[in-house]
Structure 1
């Protein structure tokens, strides 16, 4: 781990954001690659993994994003928390807008439960777009932290940025599975199921670099940007991830997965950040 931190400390933070989010993309691809070795995924395992994903995202939202954002905000009392509150609300509103516009279908939902504008797009495309929604705020969150490092903000550390990338990467593994396996179950070939699974995370390097550049050029927005990413991730968890885990009889497994994911992300952030 020390070698990884040293590598990023000696790397331009914008390039570091690209490397870190590319790592999260690669882990998604590794998860999707399991479609070559297994015909399907046990529903209990899938729900547990999705719960784990939710736990990581919630923990990252506070420990990696909201807490540092509040700490670096000027002022005292109510004034100090305003940037976090505003950014958090804007992040949730942004994802709310995407959710209403972008056609998508959640993993465990039926065909007639697709969301967004009406479209003749196939189920395959809609499933991929659903996970893509998850990945936009994740890539943005990692990029914003690296951008804070580039801007020289003391509260934004390489350790914290790497911890967030590791946490997001770990929870991207089940996300890759969550795309490729259902596609395979619906008759899509193994190769195409893998392709669509890994492509769902291609937005992460893009969002990561955009987030890093934005903060670098407009340093004062960093507290808002951190909270924006947190609000977007919490929206995804409450609106998509948790409901997807509560549609079968394995709700307790999903809940325990959520607790496990929260503990893992909290530990990573405190230990490295």
Structure 2
């Protein structure tokens, strides 16, 4: 741990991004060992990750953004609101673009055209949603170089941990349908883990950009928070409750929020 703390924030962001990718691959690897998913456990994990991401959006992203803006003489709510809404708007735009994707070149082992289209959209959707998550991790670590008192290594690590936990069921959610529709286990795993490959790349880009272009830091932090909240509201919470485990996922969300809040405040 001491070695990790001694690293440059960009390198820390890279390692954190690799961890989130590893968790995606770990989830996707379940296709080799299981014929089906324990949806009660998966939905509980999704709820927990949603709570972590909600808490991280404030303590690891919005709060440092507001502080940095006020330090530069700008009302804290201005970059917070602008960046937050732009983050959500980008994810909304991504969702609107997904039906325009064409998948004839992919998933050639799947014979059913409708199934092929559905699984293609699933892979692309998860992959595109992982980009802002990776950026959020990178921005959180990049902020450590900006001497912001509310930006803590504990908060950045907890954010990466929460996203990693959330990526485990995402990897499984990609690989299992592909295998069920007729793709080999090996290729199902490859596509499942590929959806998380963008996160270490995005994390490095986010950390490096924040360090090089420090004035945009409040907007970038808020942007990452808005993107994360959009993912939680549109994907994680509905996904954790669609099989009927509403109370379980809600309780796990509360626990995840409390754990992230404790880690961020205590370690900060």
Q: Distance in 1 between matches of 2:251 and 2:77?
A: 31
Instruction: Provide TM-score, normalisation by structure 2.
Output: 0.86
* C-alpha RMSD of matched pairs (Å): 2.2
Aligned-pair CA distance for 1:67: 1.5
Q: Distance in 1 between matches of 2:132 and 2:243?
A: 27
CA contact (8 A) 1:61 1:230 kept: yes
CA contact (8 A) 1:25 1:202 kept: yes
Is 1:79–2:62 an aligned residue pair? no
Which residue of structure 2 lines up, in the alignment, with residue 142 of structure 1?
137
Which residue of structure 2 lines up, in the alignment, with residue 272 of structure 1?
267
The verdict on how the C-alpha distance between 1:78 and 1:19 changes in structure 2, with shifts beyond 3 A counting, is closer
Q: 1:175 aligns with which of 146, 170, 192?
A: 170
Structure 1 unmatched runs, 5+? 104-115
CA contact (8 A) 1:32 1:198 kept: yes
Q: Superposed, which structure 2 residues align to 1:108-187 within 5 Å?
A: 116-117=99-100, 119-121=102-104, 122=116, 123-187=118-182
Instruction: Provide TM-score, normalisation by structure 1.
Output: 0.85
Is 1:53–2:49 an aligned residue pair? yes
CA contact (8 A) 1:141 1:208 kept: yes
Which residue of structure 1 lines up, in the alignment, with residue 28 of structure 2?
32
Is 1:248–2:243 an aligned residue pair? yes
CA contact (8 A) 1:30 1:173 kept: yes
Aligned-pair CA distance for 1:77: 11
Aligned-pair CA distance for 1:144: 0.8
Q: Distance in 2 between matches of 1:35 and 1:268?
A: 32
Q: Distance in 2 between matches of 1:175 and 1:188?
A: 18
Which residue of structure 2 lines up, in the alignment, with residue 106 of structure 1?
none
CA contact (8 A) 2:65 2:76 kept: no
Aligned-pair CA distance for 1:219: 0.5
CA distances 1:5-40 after superposition (whole Å, capped 9, x unpaired): x22332122122111111111121112112211111
Structure 2 unmatched runs, 5+? 105-115
The verdict on how the C-alpha distance between 1:261 and 1:175 changes in structure 2, with shifts beyond 3 A counting, is farther
CA distances 1:77-126 after superposition (whole Å, capped 9, x unpaired): 9922211111101111111111111x2xxxxxxxxxxxx32635523322
CA contact (8 A) 2:53 2:159 kept: no
Is 1:94–2:90 an aligned residue pair? yes
CA contact (8 A) 1:35 1:193 kept: yes
CA contact (8 A) 1:69 1:224 kept: yes
Task: State the number of aligned residues.
Answer: 256
Q: Distance in 2 between matches of 1:52 and 1:8?
A: 26
Matched residue SS, 2:76: helix
Which residue of structure 2 lines up, in the alignment, with residue 197 of structure 1?
192
